[in-house]
Homo-oligomer: A and B are copies of this chain.
Amino acid sequence: MKKPTSLLEELADTALDIEAMLDDLLPPAGAAPRLMRAMRHAALGGGKRVRPHLLRMSARLLGGDDAAALRAGAALEMVHCYSLVHDDLPAMDDDAMRRGRPTCHVAFDEATAILAGDALLTHAFMVLADAATHPSAEVRAGLIHALAKAAGHHGMVAGQMLDIEAEQAASHDEMMVRAVQMLKTGALFRFAAEAGAILAGAAAEDRERLRVYAHNIGLAFQIADDILDATAAPEAVGKRTGKDATAGKATFIDLYGLDGARQRAAALVDDAVEALDPYGAAADPLRALARFIITRGK
């Protein structure tokens, strides 16, 4: 195995590996070919695969198997992609462009997009339950429980609901914005780090450190995303920008202003990096990932 020398090379490696695994886990043939095409449209050919990379680097730090981390990372990415498909629907954010391509309901139709999202979410759990992911059923059931908790009404979906409700609110206070984002974005980041620890059979103190790290970079990631939405051209990020302010969304720019948001994101990354102190140089890939997040967004 070649040893990548920089975060960007490592991230590119993971993106290629995840793309290949998703291609393998979502074969074009099947009982309903149109459904498979829509699932592949949603999951393949895009994204920096930051969440799977976080999972993989967490597993590597704590001694988890790399092949297992990649399968778990592919399942996590299916959940992330399903959430984007449903978020982009006309009844939700009503977005026509994602990763520089038409969103799923534009490329197909609304019904197909709803079903493709449902099927991606379902398939993530089938992949994790498969013995090919890990020989221990305890580990597999642990991953499934943690992912369902992070993705469902305790986590991401609750965040999506609060995000919609916040659009109707007259003003946004810090508690509200943080609550929305800790659930909507943060829950899958925390799962990524936690899954690495579960795969490695890590001790409670390792899990806690990774949780602190992931919590902080999850918030930093969302702030960076808010900054991109407020400042970048659509062609730079492959989707509509400036839409949060228009929609009355609860964003960190509202709270802190642009400069304040940048400072806050940098402070969160410092906290994330500090949580990794006990691991010395072994945690450098996770430190590099934390810093990357505020320079690039999603």
CB distance from A271 to the nearest CB of B (A): 23
* Complex alpha-carbon distance, A36 and B154, angstroms: 10
CB distance from A80 to the nearest CB of B (A): 13
Interface centre among A121, A128, A145, A157 (most CB of B within 10 A): A157
Contact indicator B157/A129 (Cβ below 8 Å): no
CB distance from A194 to the nearest CB of B (A): 14
- Copies of this chain, complex-wide, total 2
- If over half of A's interface residues share one DSSP class (helix, strand or loop), that class is named, otherwise mixed; here it is helix
* Complex alpha-carbon distance, A111 and B155, angstroms: 17
Which B residue sits closest to A133, measured CB to CB?
B141
Given A35-B161, A92-B114, A161-B34, do A123 and B138 touch, yes or no (CB 8 Å)? no
A interface residues with partner B (beta carbon < 8 Å): 30-32, 34-36, 39, 82, 86, 89, 91-92, 109-112, 114-115, 117-119, 121-123, 125-126, 128-131, 136-138, 140-142, 144-145, 147-149, 151-155, 157-162, 164-165, 179, 183
Q: A92-B114, A125-B148 are in contact. List 12 more A-B contacts (CB 8 A).
A: A31-B183, A32-B158, A34-B165, A35-B153, A35-B157, A82-B118, A86-B114, A91-B114, A122-B148, A125-B125, A130-B145, A137-B140
